């Protein structure tokens, strides 16, 4: 069992998109670059690099709550961080229940 609360990357990406946070780049070493505008050249919005923890108590392919909060702090809509965290938790639960017969 993970020691730190984490959510599947695909769920985080889906919910972030609902709130205007876009995945700009995904690197082979697991880093991601998020932005507050869709990808464009040149990119004129704010962006943030993030790294999902590899062996710090979360499972591979998951984003811990601290990484999620860092992205929300810089790129999230004002005053919506808690709403987005709840939406991620709900979406993750829905996804996990889909796998159960």
Can you read off the two tokens belonging to residue 51?
A: 């790294």
Per-residue pLDDT of 46-93, as tens digits, reads 999 998 665 554 456 788 888 999 999 999 999 999 999 999 999 999
Query: What φ, ψ does residue 62 adopt, rounded to 5°?
Result: -120, 150
User: Which residues are CB-neighbours of 67 under 8 A, at least 6 positions away?
Assistant: 50, 51, 52, 53
CA dist 70 and 6 (Å) reads: 14
Confidence label for 1 from pLDDT (cuts 50, 70 and 90): very low
Domain boundaries, the chain: 6-96
In angstroms, the CA 7 to CA 4 distance is 10
pTM of the model: 0.85
> Parallel, antiparallel, or unpaired for β 47-51 and 62-64?
unpaired
């Amino acid at each position: 069992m993970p020691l730190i609360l984490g959510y599947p990357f695909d769920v985080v990406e889906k919910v972030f998109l609902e709130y205007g946070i876009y995945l700009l780049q995904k690197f082979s070493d697991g880093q991601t670059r998020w932005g507050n505008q869709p990808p464009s050249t040149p990119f004129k919005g704010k962006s943030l690099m993030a790294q999902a923890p590899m062996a710090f108590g979360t499972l591979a392919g998951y984003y811990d709550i601290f990484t999620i909060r860092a992205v929300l702090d810089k790129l999230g809509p004002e005053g919506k961080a808690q709403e987005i965290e709840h939406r991620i938790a709900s979406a993750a639960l829905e996804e996990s229940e889909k796998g159960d017969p």
